[in-house]
Amino acid sequence: MNYKVIGGKKLSGSVTTNISKNAAVALLAASLLNRGTTTLKRMPRIEEVKRLIEVLESIGVKVEWSESGEMTITPDAVNLSNINKESAGKTRSIALFAAPLAHLFSSFDLPAPTGCDLGKRSLGAHVDALARLGITLEGNEEKHTYHVEVGDPPAGGLREIIMYEASDTGTENVLMAAAKIPGKTVIKYASANYQVRDLCGFLEKCGVKIEGVGTTTLTVHGVEDINTSVVYAPSEDPIESMFFISLAATTGSELSIERCPIDFLELELLTLEHMGLSYRRGKDYMAENGSARLCGLTVLRSELHAPPEKIAPRPYPGINIDNLPYFVPIATQAKGTTLIHDWVYEGRAKHYMEMVKLGAKMTQIDPHRVEIEGPTKLHGADIKAPPALRPATLLLIGMLAAEGESTLYDVYPINRGYENLHERLTKLGASVEAVE
């Protein structure tokens, strides 16, 4: 699929934030821990979720998905012999299956995760933490698989794991490993990010007591078995909220974004305030799961300027690494020089430079830093979407702000994380047509 875009239009109206992609994929993996039926509410119909469902069905798991988005997952006799390698290879989220499957098999192979092309993305945090629980994860480059060997976890008393990197997925994998190892496991320097909190909420519904949720030290009281009917409602996606915030700021439009997970957007909004952005914030209320705090935001038309300091991500509560790319199109419309420092990934900043094809004035200083001059009048261009979700969507924002016609080719990376995005944009007054 390609997107044909006619940009330069002021947008208006309201859009509702969908359920988090990153929480959804973690919960699909965690459903393998439960021998009973897991029901997940309002699951997003995105390609990433569809690929993992294909994997689950290929190993014998029954998945039913209603029109309302409610998904029921019932594991039967799980068998890895016919695992869907093609679907697994299209999502890096397949790495999250390592810990749940380690409770079912003593030795197995997983297709190597790929997903976004963001340079070298190490699974070292997973490997190190899982090894401390008796689970060995090794890569086989020749077979393009990960081989998992499961031994006995450390005997007795307290198990303590220090994460050398506050990895979201690394924390999730060790949480799922610890959940079914009886006794107490303490995870230090854990991620406190939104998808980790959703996973903790689900595990607690399964009967696993977890202390310290929302902090960087988690204490997991593992259980022998999980066999129950569980209903859980994952929360909304702060990264999707940020996409629409960036869209409004870059196009100079007034947009209302409903159901924003505000606890994971406050520093981004503060940074945008320092860039001159004005917005109204509605009253806080709780998400369906009772733990996430939501609110409505209305972004107002604003005169933007460069921030006083560079913009760089940090583990929560810093600016989210997935939200960083959305400052790139905003910076093209901000007076002055903005420095974006993407220190986490080796290969993502090069994708930001595709904005130059739309007329942006940008300089790549090194593999991690991009300097952007603004404000710049953008123009239409034809660009192939980079094989990475967030960089692909920032180009779409740039095209919607640019005068004239653009085509964004091969938008599968966008569909990995956003449901019916072009239709939702059309309702806001954008001209985005999906074409073959």
Domain that holds residue 220: 21-232
Q: Which two tokens stand for residue 44?
A: 């997003």
Domain limit, last residue, from 177, 203, 232: 232
Q: Say if CB 211 and CB 218 are below 8 A apart.
A: yes
Domain limit, last residue, from 190, 210, 232: 232
Mark whether 283 and 313 lie in a shared domain.
yes
d(CA 106, CA 151): 7
Please name the amino acid found at residue 267.
Answer: L
- For the chain, what is the domain count? 2
d(CA 153, CA 180): 11
Using alpha carbons, select from 412, 422, 420 the residue that is nearest to residue 116. Answer: 412
Instruction: Look at residue 140 in the predicted model and tell me its pLDDT.
Output: 75
What confidence tier does 347 reach under pLDDT thresholds 50, 70, 90?
confident
Instruction: Look at residue 120 in the predicted model and tell me its pLDDT.
Output: 47
CATH code: domain of residue 328: 3.65.10.10
Mark whether 181 and 32 lie in a shared domain.
yes
Helices (H), 109-161: 124-131
Q: Which two tokens stand for residue 358?
A: 């739309």
Average pLDDT over residues 171-178: 97
Average pLDDT over residues 63-74: 96
Q: Is the pLDDT of residue 60 over 50?
A: yes
SS3 258: strand
Mark whether 308 and 195 lie in a shared domain.
no
Instruction: Look at residue 424 in the predicted model and tell me its pLDDT.
Output: 98
Mark whether 41 and 106 lie in a shared domain.
yes
Instruction: Look at residue 141 in the predicted model and tell me its pLDDT.
Output: 73
Please name the amino acid found at residue 292.
Answer: A
Mark whether 254 and 195 lie in a shared domain.
no
Q: Say if CB 198 and CB 27 are below 8 A apart.
A: yes
| Tens of pLDDT, residues 201-221 | 999 999 999 999 999 999 999
pTM of the model: 0.95
Q: What is the sign of the dihedral through the CA atoms of 148, 154, 159 and 164? A: negative
